[in-house]
Structure 1
Amino acid sequence: MATKAVANALTGEGSSTVFTGDTDPELIAGALPFAIKMYEALLATQPDHQGLILTTGSLFVMYANAFIQGPAEMLPPEEYLERADRIERARKLYLRGAEILATGLEKKYRGWNDAYGKGVQLSYLAKLKKADVPLIYWHAAGILSAYALNPFDLDLGMRLPELTAAIARAYELDPDFNSGALDDFYVLFYSSVPEGMGGDPSKVETHYQRALEKSKEGLAGPYVSYAQAVCVPAQNIETFKSSLESALAVDIEKDPASRLVNIIAQRKARYLLNAAPDFFAELDADTWGEW
């Protein structure tokens, strides 16, 4: 009973803002590994606790993205071996988180994990409720993030249709989830996945504008996602620059619960601006300052 009470307290409403509302990324980077292991220990004693499953799994995904993959991608080119090691670590953490989240879906809907393979996924998707959207979102984010780091993983690649259908259902149930997180997800998904596997560049702009609208332009993340996933492949330097400048102009106090994610996104924006000559053929380090 005591363990369950602690689990309820640590996964209740407002508990996540202890991390996401902080202004010190280094403090959170140091605290999260202990927090994750603590949640894992609690989950071992309360394996059916849906709040613990969601929190533990999503923390793995968030930690891998914000504090492993993100910094790894900003390492200088000469540290390619270190970068490769960190990217592989991030990939493994994404999958660990996704596996935990999958147990939550399986416990709520017996047979969920085999539904796509058996051709009965649609019947399971119909059972989903709005409360299931966080599980779906973080599970898909973990799998697709791992796949993005190794697109030669055929097993994960074969799961794209399954995940695409699940995210589409989540969008039907709660299109405003987490201030437009699903729209930001679609910006990355539709712009980076081949059309034959679910990508659709024609839908990117719509979801980008929706992400900005739903976040009330108070999140830096959508601007950074658009600059990196859309502007770089299109070699659109003007929009790349303006998008990142918009990210840097976001007032982190406008949404106190999102201070940390905004600070991390703005760090990424500064890096991308400084490294622009590495991404655009028309630029070099000497002429970039003229833009």
Structure 2
Amino acid sequence: MWLQYQAGAPASLAALVKVEEIMKRILQLDEGYYHGAAHLFLGSYYGSRPEMLGGKPAASRTHFERALELGDHQFLPAQVAFAETYARTVFDRELFEQLLREVMDFPLDSRPDFALANQVAKKRAGQLLADIDRYF
């Protein structure tokens, strides 16, 4: 995700404050926009770093859970981001595995409108599961 690759860039920090405000505004206008994409972004944003470095794990979890609801657990990038950012950051192996198993068990043909995003998410979930012992 773009956010994870911009962690050390000073210019991106200023931009992130603006992006956060834009995402909050999207939530006010239409929180369901693109299957809860604003919740997905904010969950990743708040969960991408530990609390002692400015992360907000509780807010992250709340946003991810809402994104899952709005996407009916069928927009798989939400589960992958939830596992990769929040679950890894708070060292919740059980949640990490549960979310990624949900992705791996999801039949790709059941949501053709999400086919590409879900296929990419499924590939990433497999990679994360293969490396689970490195994270926990």
What TM-score do the two structures reach when normalised by structure 2? 0.87
Contact 1:218/1:251, CA 8 A, preserved across alignment: no
The 1-side partners of 2:92 and 2:51 are apart by 21
Equivalent residue of 1:253, what SS?
helix
Count, aligned residues: 136
The 2-side partners of 1:244 and 1:271 are apart by 10
- Where in structure 2 are the equivalents of 1:227-242 lying within 5 Å? 227-242=83-98
Q: CA deviation at 1:196?
A: 9.4
The 2-side partners of 1:164 and 1:199 are apart by 13
Match of residue 203, structure 1, among 59, 66, 70:
59
- Where in structure 2 are the equivalents of 1:182-197 lying within 5 Å? 182-192=38-48
Match of residue 220, structure 1, among 72, 76, 86:
76
- Where in structure 2 are the equivalents of 1:4-153 lying within 5 Å? 145=2, 148-153=4-9
Query: Does residue 1:248 correspond to 2:122, yes or no?
Result: no
The 1-side partners of 2:45 and 2:102 are apart by 22
Contact 1:160/1:198, CA 8 A, preserved across alignment: no
Query: Does residue 1:174 correspond to 2:30, yes or no?
Result: yes
The 2-side partners of 1:268 and 1:230 are apart by 16
Q: CA deviation at 1:241?
A: 1.0
Could you tell me which residue of structure 2 aligns to residue 284 of structure 1? none
The 1-side partners of 2:112 and 2:60 are apart by 28
Q: CA deviation at 1:160?
A: 2.4
Question: Which letter does structure 1 place at the counterpart of 2:71?
Answer: S
Match of residue 276, structure 1, among 102, 108, 132:
132
Could you tell me which residue of structure 1 aligns to residue 123 of structure 2? 267
CA RMSD in angstroms comes to: 2.2
The 2-side partners of 1:228 and 1:204 are apart by 12
Query: Per-residue CA shift, 1:172-222, capped at 9, x if unaligned?
Result: 112101111111111101112576997422212221221111111112211
Structure 2 gaps, min length 5: none
The 1-side partners of 2:52 and 2:87 are apart by 21
Q: Percent identity?
A: 24
Structure 1 gaps, min length 5: 1-64, 66-144, 281-291
Query: Per-residue CA shift, 1:16-65, capped at 9, x if unaligned?
Result: xxxxxxxxxxxxxxxxxxxxxxxxxxxxxxxxxxxxxxxxxxxxxxxxx6
Q: CA deviation at 1:168?
A: 1.0
Question: Which letter does structure 2 place at the counterpart of 1:267?
Answer: K
Contact 2:35/2:71, CA 8 A, preserved across alignment: yes
C-alpha distance 196-274 of structure 1, shift in aligned 2 (>3 A): closer
Q: CA deviation at 1:224?
A: 0.9
C-alpha distance 187-227 of structure 1, shift in aligned 2 (>3 A): same
C-alpha distance 271-240 of structure 1, shift in aligned 2 (>3 A): same
The 2-side partners of 1:194 and 1:238 are apart by 18
What TM-score do the two structures reach when normalised by structure 1? 0.43
Question: Which letter does structure 1 place at the counterpart of 2:21?
Answer: A
The 1-side partners of 2:51 and 2:96 are apart by 23
